[in-house]
Amino acid sequence: MAKKKSILDFHNMKKKGEKVAWITAYDYPMASFAEQAGMDMILVGDSLGMVVLGYEGTVPVTMDDCISHCKAVRRGAPNTFIVGDMPFGSYHTTDADAVANAVRFLKEANCDAIKLEGGVRVASRIKAIADAGIVVIGHIGLTPQSAGVLGGFKAQGLYVDSARALIKDALAVQEAGALALLLEAVPPELTEFIAKKLTIPVYSIGAGLPCDGQLIICGDMLGMFQAFTPKFVKKYANVAEVITNAFKEYVDDVKAERFPEDKHVYHAKDSKEDFEKLFQEFN
């Protein structure tokens, strides 16, 4: 079994040009598959709101939802670096609230780090959490919790003015004490510049190749999440089809009494006659 990586390992990997593979997971089985596959890192994203809870966005997700899913993921992946995602509202009021909520991820769910969305505007939150001794991962670009303000789930930094703002955000995140940064849905040209400019590792979800590693959402890459598929997703499987077909076959088997078969039942150990006597006691 590979040793669990730490944030220092991720910094060393950046120095050596070794790429980090991370994925989201929200429950015990997915986490254990990720660990068995040798994933470097798991994000228990607040995307769980859409992928497993059926909300239209991430805003309704609560701290208790996140903690409960992080605990399940930790049980499934005891030897993998796990990042808890701070949900909308958990760091939007005060630095003190942000620290208190970040602490819950470590104390209650045994996470290794937290992630939060935003750049310059959340710099004081990042600093407060980092000062509390917690590994913080920043997240800028397409930040789903602010989809309303961004006008939807849209790529960011496509023009010089918005790219300039993102470079300032990236620098602010590093300066505030974050130990890694995730870029979402920005052009690879900008990703490359930011990844070279920052000393902390810079990861991509929909931000192209030239950085220190990639994140993908398990529901998207497995073909389980059907509401929509972002352009940046590579589908590695069509699990929705596999599951739906299996369910259909089961429905047909039940209706036609093809299931359960003899091999699926527990036969009585006492004789048929003994059982008949028993049934007569109740007639």
DSSP structure string for 42-111: EEE-TTHHHHTS--SSSTT--HHHHHHHHHHHHHH-TTSEEEEEPPTTSSSS-HHHHHHHHHHHHHHH--
Query: 3-class SS at 22?
Result: strand
Q: Binding ligand KIV by CB under 6 A: which of 23, 41, 42, 43? A: 43
CB closer to ligand KIV, 154 vs 248? 154
**CA end-to-end distance (rounded Å), the chain:** 59
CA angle 190, 180, 43 (to 5 degrees): 105
For the question of residue 184 being annotated catalytic, the response is: yes
Q: Is 144 in the site for ligand KIV (CB under 6 A)?
A: yes
Minimum Å gap between C-beta 259 and ligand KIV is 37
Among residues 122, 155, 151, 116, which one has the least CA distance to residue 136? 116
Q: Binding ligand KIV by CB under 6 A: which of 205, 211, 216, 221? A: 205
Q: Which stretch binds ligand KIV (CB under 6 A): 13-21, 43-51, 101-109, 240-248?
A: 43-51
In the numeric block, the tokens 């994203």 are attached to 45
Cα(248)–Cα(141) distance, integer angstroms: 41
Cα(79)–Cα(245) distance, integer angstroms: 34
Q: Binding ligand KIV by CB under 6 A: which of 10, 24, 185, 191? A: 24
73, 34 Cβ separation under 8 angstroms:
no
Cα(257)–Cα(232) distance, integer angstroms: 45
Minimum Å gap between C-beta 80 and ligand KIV is 16
CB closer to ligand KIV, 226 vs 280? 226
Catalytic residue among 56, 117, 184, 281: 184
Residues 223-282 that bind ligand KIV (CB under 6 A): none
Q: Which residue is nearest to ligand KIV (CB)?
A: 45
Q: Is 85 in the site for ligand KIV (CB under 6 A)?
A: yes
Q: Which stretch binds ligand KIV (CB under 6 A): 45-53, 63-71, 89-97, 100-108?
A: 45-53
Minimum Å gap between C-beta 189 and ligand KIV is 20
Minimum Å gap between C-beta 49 and ligand KIV is 8
State the pairing for strand pair 20-24/136-141: unpaired
Q: Return the C-alpha torsion angle 127, 130, 117, 83, nearest 10.
A: 180
Q: Is 185 in the site for ligand KIV (CB under 6 A)?
A: no
Q: Is 184 in the site for ligand KIV (CB under 6 A)?
A: yes
CB closer to ligand KIV, 155 vs 205? 205
Minimum Å gap between C-beta 142 and ligand KIV is 8
Q: Is 80 in the site for ligand KIV (CB under 6 A)?
A: no
What's the Rg (C-alpha) of the chain? Answer: 23
Minimum Å gap between C-beta 77 and ligand KIV is 16
Number of residues in the chain = 283
Q: Any idea which residues carry the catalytic annotation? A: 184
Chain residues that interact with ligand KIV, rule: CB under 6 A: 24, 43, 45-47, 85, 139, 144, 182, 184, 205, 215, 217
